[in-house]
Structures are given as structure tokens and as C-alpha cells.
Amino acid sequence: MTKYQETKRIVREYFTAIEQATPANVADVLKAHTSDDYLWRGVYPFREQQGAAAAAEVFWAPLMSSLTRMQRRQDVFIGGTNEISGEQWVMSMGHFMGLFDKDYLGVRATGKMISLRYAEFNCVENGKITKTGLFVDLLGLMQQAGAYPLPPSTGNYFVYPGPRNHDGLLFEDAPEEEGVATLALVNKMVADLSALNDSGAMGCPPEVLEMSWSKDMIWYGPCGIGASYTIPRYQQQHQLPFRNNLKDKKFNGHVCRFAEGNFSCFFGWPNLSNTPVGGFLGMPGGEIRADMQVVDVYYREGDKLVENWVLIDIPFWLKQQGLDVFERTQQILNPSL
């Protein structure tokens, strides 16, 4: 048995059990697969939950009640050793798909299929899941339900595909040297951008990106920003609005970062801190410093990164500045009269 097979088996069995669970028994199912000191992290409004019962009550049971007959549809599944703290982790990325049959976070149900984009990180120690980072794109769900709360996005958001070559489900371990090469390339790219942040520069010469990225890169950003194709359009539709409209950008580090095969991933808590000066997301700048929780999943071909799936907890970033998109949406589109 190879290095990560047991860890992957534990997580896959957990996924199967969760998919077969109901809102009534999901707490027991989660408890059976997690440690007594289990820590669950998620996007706003869920945030940090201590223990399986709390995670089930706050996140899983309401989601299962609203998205009936929910399926996990994976595009990427990888395992590896966290280079930050040495544990074994598994990352799964894709969509939760179901029937939107009950109002969720103030968003009115549609009775139609809906896809909730996710990336889930699970740490396995001593045969149990001890830590989870589960990020979902709630703005994407709101857009599909006709309740998008922000100005038009610079990129295009849709139900994103997985990797172009459909090779993201690494149920069998990939050669270790491939993961080493992928992580080295990602770390080089992060270091280049961190140096740019530390310099105080707002823009970014395309040559900096071309050191790590394919010219035909695809950047699948969070709803609110959207996706972009090619370096010039990525810069126009995301990177330059991000860099020019946010100041005092500070990289805070990652909780988990690893690679397997041609894929790499990380998340932070928070990754970044910044201050909006106006224009980002089409919003005014309130000069209120805020933290960003970010997930990145990368796909390497040769010596270049070719695809990048990103989730940012934009609702939390906005909440820190005084805007709760869920409360406002409910008050306007689905009020309790």
C-alpha cells in the first residue's frame, strides 16, 4: 500500500457516509469519522465550529435540508503531506449538486437543480479526521437562484469544469517527484507575488506571471469576480483590479499546502489582509482593513501552471466592512413580513 492510500480511504468512506446521511443523523455520521477534538472551518456565516455536533448543526443539516438529494460531484481529489505542519491531508474540489427545495441563508428556494461549488480539506491523524476546511461559493448559489447581491463582475462566473484533461481524481497515489515539481512551481509563483506585495507595487508586469503561468492560463475565480482566460484577460479582469483597488496587501501564510501529481492546493485562515480604496467588486472603498480566506487549487503542465481554481470568502470580507449580503438579500428579496 502506497503512502496516502489509507488516508484517502478514510476520507472517501467519510464522503460516502455523508452523502448517504440525512439532516437528522448527519451529526452521528460526522462523529463516527472525526476525532473528539475535531475542528471544522468554513466560510461566513459558519466560520469555526468545534466538534462534529456543532459542524453538523451549523453547516451540514441546513444544507442537506435545502439541497435535497444532494450529490458530491468531484473534479479533483488529491492527498499529500502538509508542508506547513507535516500531517497528511486530502483535498477534494467540485460541486455539491441538489434540488434547491428550501430557502437557504435567506435565499428563496427555486425547486430547480443547483450547484454549490466547494473545496474541502481534511486532515487525517490516527485513523480519524481531525481538522476540516470546507469552503463553498455561496455567491455562486445566490447567482443561480436569481439573487446575486453585487455589481456586475469583471470576469464570467458559471458552473466551472474540472481540469481540461479530466485527470484530477487521484484515487491512486501519483509519483512523488511530480508533486515535488508542482509544489516548487507554486511556491515560486507565490514568492514572486509576495515580493511584489512587499514592495508596495500596485500593478504587476505580465512578465512576472509568465515566469510561472502558461499564456493560455485559465483562472476560475469566485463568484463576484468570475473566470478569465489568458494572461492579458486575467490581468484585466482580476489581477489588476485586485492589485490597484486594494492597498496594504499582506500575506499571512497558510494552514495547509501540499501537492500530488500535477495538482497543488492551499488555504489560509486568513491568507491575506488588505484595505479597499474603491473599485474592487464594483464597491466603494471604505478604508476598512479586512482579512481574506482564500483557497487555491493549481494544475501544472510541464513547467507552467495552466489552470487555477480559486475560492474567496467574499461575504466574510464584506461583512468585516459592514455589509452582510445574506441579511440584505433576505430583507429585500425574501422578507419575513
Task: Please report which helix (H) or strand (E) contains residue 34, including its range.
Answer: strand 34-42
C-alpha cell at position 144:
443561480
Model's pTM, two decimal places?
0.96
pLDDT digits (tens, 9 = 90+) for 278-331: 999 999 988 899 999 999 999 999 999 999 999 999 999 999 999 999 999 999
Angle ∠(221,224,226) on CA atoms, nearest 5: 35
pLDDT digits (tens, 9 = 90+) for 148-170: 999 999 999 999 999 999 999 99
Q: Cα–Cα distance between 101 and 180 in angstroms, integer? A: 44
Of 303, 309, 323, 83, which Cα lies nearest the Cα of 211?
303
Q: Are 160 and 220 in contact (CB under 8 A)?
A: yes
pLDDT average per 10 residues of sequence, the chain (337 residues)? 90 98 98 98 98 98 98 98 97 98 97 98 98 98 98 98 98 97 94 76 82 96 98 96 92 95 98 95 93 98 98 98 97 90
* Phi then psi dihedrals of residue 333, to 5 deg: -100, -20
C-alpha cell at position 314:
467574499
Mind listing the domains of the chain with CATH numbers? 5-144 (3.10.450.50), 176-325 (3.10.450.50)
The sign of the dihedral angle between the CA atoms of 248, 253, 255, 257 is positive
DSSP alpha helices (H): ranges in the chain? 5-20, 26-33, 52-55, 61-66, 138-144, 176-199, 206-210, 231-234, 240-245, 314-319, 325-333
